[in-house]
Structure 1
């Protein structure tokens, strides 16, 4: 392998990636992706469509080629064509493209059983297609479909096809592992043989991921003489997908001396756009672009990062336009929490930090991960709890909510050490809870404050598993607010109500606290 060889990256998100089940890009979406691939990421080439597919496909390619012509990128925009002179070439010309990737049969099995032709007949038809394309001013690269099976099972035929193509005016010979069946050892062996026999030919490698080996196979192909590789953003592609652009770029930069032009700091932005356009969700643990891949969860890792970045590797998130995060949950330690507090500019006393840590662990048992956006809500909730004596608590509840039936709540309360049980139905789960609570307080000869406002919010950017903060305003001769925090909206409101019950005990039995203001949380008694 020559050091510092320049490797071409050909991205086929818009052609092979679109063969993902359920994916169909609009012409305008194809244009936006093409612009980002060539101008932002700076891949060397893009494959944008298959010839003669549909009118919509033609419209999409025309939009791209019109833009590419203005930018002088036409030689970097490629279209898959077939051995069907003159149909594919004419379609490509109508689309405004100038490069055809001609699909030939790279295995004797495909040639015999699909085309039902002899090698001589196929070679002649290929020669006619290339000649016609040249006559019309279209450059040609050639795919050897099912090349991997050809090398395994019809070696002489496959090598004779490559030898024939080296005599033709072809710019690149492209070798696909069509079914994703090769091992890294086979890739290295096959490229050693081919490159040794044809040392001056540009060979591309096109990997599929059926055995989850696409990235490893790309690396072997490059280390053994491939001049270019094919990728898709987020690994889109039929079956298990193609070699993902983001991972291929990372392994080339970190494990080889090869040069590429791709701007890796733009990868995440393009990845998210393709996710939106394709409707294919990126797995949270997908290397480079997954939501969780730069997130430390264990407290010991955050502690190690504080002590000379002990848990860092070369895949630094800043390379890809991202940031490292320290997740909060049941495995969090103080180091994780301190990292997040530092990011928010918040400082807590030692005792407060211990209580926040414990609260995060408790909440983490209910929810997979607590985010940085959740943290201010949790801190406020903990600080408010610190300011309230807890003589009254919700000890148990059972809620039902069925279609066509009113919600029902069974409730157990502990009030100054004594237990009370009651049940009620209402117009909603929280209404049922309040009705049961009022029954309990009525037996005690007590009245509850009037609920005057009820506000629900989630952290900015929160998803369906976000914590819910409920802030309730009460009138008890004085106006005051309480808040609750829980992944469940009804439980969050119940937590706010529990705080209210303890506050009215304070107002009733400790009147000297009536004028107190509890800074750092949502509870303040206000003159009525």
Structure 2
């Protein structure tokens, strides 16, 4: 087998990908994706539409073809058409298209039950369509729809079909696994059979993912000698979708002796663009482009990466315009936190690092999703808490909010070793908590500050399901602030309040 052969990539996101249930790209969206695929990613060709679908499809195809003509890229833009007495050819010609991907029946079962024609009738109509398109200056590639079933059920039909077609006027023969039924072993054998029987033809392989084998089948097809493969961004397509562009490129580059012209660094950016346009969310664990695929969660992994990149593989995030991350959670441990601190330029003493680690684990147990943007807030909260002597401690509390009734708060608090309890109502849960505190302090004749401002924020870049910072401004002779950091807004305010009680306790003692 020839080594270092370049594999042609035809992306069909804008045609087959748009056949995903619920997906419909607007004309401007189609144009922006087409430009990105060709100019930024450098794919060899794109399939942008199906002929005769709608007026909107025609207008979108016209816009793309106008742009392509201005750049001399018409030959890279392909449109699916049908054996329909020249109607598809006229549609493509009106759109300005120069390449027809002609759909023919690659299995006798489809020919017999869908078209209800003989193989000779089909061959005659295909040849007529090829001749008519060629006469109008339109290049033709040929899809053998349901080819995989054709090879499994009656390969002689596939051979007879190709032997009767004017293949000398065709560009590429495209072999679809239309229903995604092939195993990698079958795929290799069938593709090799086609190449051995028709050595002068160029074959593409078109995979579907019904058994989650599309990417593996792509590798089998190119190893068998296919000169091109078809992809879609994010694996869009009917049913379980098509072979995902990102995974196919990574596989070819890392696990074969072949190459492509595709620019890897732009793949993740295009993936996000198509996610936005299509409304189909990318799975967080989707290879190459998923949110979590370059994130280490285990502290053991982070420790191994620190020592010798022990948990790296060839899929380095920088290849795809991404960065490696280290998750902050209950399994992350100190090594993950150190990695995140390094990215922020922060160094900590071992004792402080343990306190921060314990706080992150505490938050993660509450299912808070802690991000690197939250880390400075956590550090500040932990270190500020340690600086204040804890003479007053909250033992426990209960907040009740019932429809039609004022919220109530019951709490018990330890002041210098004595525990006090109170229950009060209020306009809100925090107000009820404060009323309970005030009642305890009033009975003890202890001074209580005035609350003059209350603000709630999330860390920049953070998420509301992770951390909320509550900053409360108090007046007690002087104006001062305390902060509370928690995954719940009210709990954060209560933490800020307990800090306040310890601050004023020291103030009163020192006075």
TM-score, with length taken from structure 1: 0.93
Matched residue, 1:304: 304
C-alpha separation in 1, matches of 2:194 and 2:419 = 82
Matched residue, 1:313: 313
1:235-384 alignment, distance < 5 Å: 235-367=235-367, 369-384=369-384
How far apart are 1:419 and its partner, in Å?
3.4
CA contact (8 A) 1:451 1:472 kept: yes
How far apart are 1:172 and its partner, in Å?
0.6
3-state DSSP of counterpart to 2:259: coil
Matched residue, 1:80: 80
How many positions carry a matched residue from both structures? 511
CA contact (8 A) 2:148 2:177 kept: yes
Hey, which bits of structure 1, 4+ residues long, moved more than 6 A?
none
Matched residue, 1:523: none
How far apart are 1:441 and its partner, in Å?
2.8
Matched residue, 1:515: none
Matched residue, 2:135: 135
Q: Does 2:58 match 1:58?
A: yes
C-alpha separation in 1, matches of 2:126 and 2:404 = 69
How far apart are 1:303 and its partner, in Å?
1.1
Matched residue, 1:154: 154
CA contact (8 A) 1:111 1:119 kept: yes
TM-score, with length taken from structure 2: 0.96
Change in Cα spacing, 1:401 to 1:52, as seen in structure 2 (3 Å) is farther
C-alpha separation in 2, matches of 1:308 and 1:21 = 45
3-state DSSP of counterpart to 1:307: helix
Superposed CA deviations along residues 151-194 of structure 1, whole A, max 9, x for unmatched, are: 11122112222333463511011111111111111101111211
Matched residue, 1:2: 2
C-alpha separation in 1, matches of 2:247 and 2:368 = 27
Q: Does 2:93 match 1:93?
A: yes
- Could you tell which deviates more after superposition, 364-373 or 237-246? 364-373
Change in Cα spacing, 1:86 to 1:412, as seen in structure 2 (3 Å) is farther
- Could you tell which deviates more after superposition, 421-430 or 259-268? 421-430
Matched residue, 1:111: 111
Q: Does 2:24 match 1:14?
A: no
How far apart are 1:401 and its partner, in Å?
4.3
C-alpha separation in 2, matches of 1:402 and 1:74 = 67
Superposed CA deviations along residues 117-169 of structure 1, whole A, max 9, x for unmatched, are: 11111111111211111111111111111111111112211222233346351
Superposed CA deviations along residues 97-136 of structure 1, whole A, max 9, x for unmatched, are: 1111111111111111111111111111111211111111
CA contact (8 A) 2:368 2:466 kept: no
Structure 2 stretches lacking a partner, 5+ long: none
Aligned Cα root-mean-square deviation (Å): 1.7
CA contact (8 A) 2:458 2:464 kept: no
How far apart are 1:403 and its partner, in Å?
5.6
Matched residue, 2:492: 492
Matched residue, 1:524: none
Q: Does 2:218 match 1:218?
A: yes
CA contact (8 A) 2:142 2:170 kept: yes
CA contact (8 A) 2:482 2:496 kept: yes
CA contact (8 A) 1:413 1:420 kept: yes
CA contact (8 A) 1:407 1:425 kept: yes
3-state DSSP of counterpart to 1:171: strand
How far apart are 1:328 and its partner, in Å?
1.2
CA contact (8 A) 1:438 1:447 kept: no
Matched residue, 1:415: 415
Matched residue, 1:196: 196
Matched residue, 1:387: 387
Matched residue, 1:124: 124
How far apart are 1:494 and its partner, in Å?
1.5
CA contact (8 A) 1:106 1:158 kept: yes
- Could you tell which deviates more after superposition, 459-468 or 19-28? 459-468
3-state DSSP of counterpart to 2:289: coil
Superposed CA deviations along residues 230-262 of structure 1, whole A, max 9, x for unmatched, are: 101111112111111001000100011112100
Change in Cα spacing, 1:240 to 1:444, as seen in structure 2 (3 Å) is farther
Matched residue, 1:183: 183
C-alpha separation in 1, matches of 2:298 and 2:179 = 39
Matched residue, 1:209: 209
Structure 1 stretches lacking a partner, 5+ long: 512-528
How far apart are 1:498 and its partner, in Å?
1.6
1:446-465 alignment, distance < 5 Å: 446-465=446-465
How far apart are 1:353 and its partner, in Å?
1.1
C-alpha separation in 1, matches of 2:204 and 2:403 = 59
- Could you tell which deviates more after superposition, 452-461 or 482-491? 452-461
CA contact (8 A) 2:368 2:487 kept: no
How far apart are 1:404 and its partner, in Å?
5.3
Matched residue, 1:233: 233
Change in Cα spacing, 1:95 to 1:483, as seen in structure 2 (3 Å) is same
C-alpha separation in 2, matches of 1:184 and 1:365 = 43
CA contact (8 A) 1:127 1:168 kept: no
3-state DSSP of counterpart to 1:114: helix
C-alpha separation in 2, matches of 1:23 and 1:404 = 45
How far apart are 1:447 and its partner, in Å?
4.3
Superposed CA deviations along residues 332-359 of structure 1, whole A, max 9, x for unmatched, are: 2222111111111111122111111111
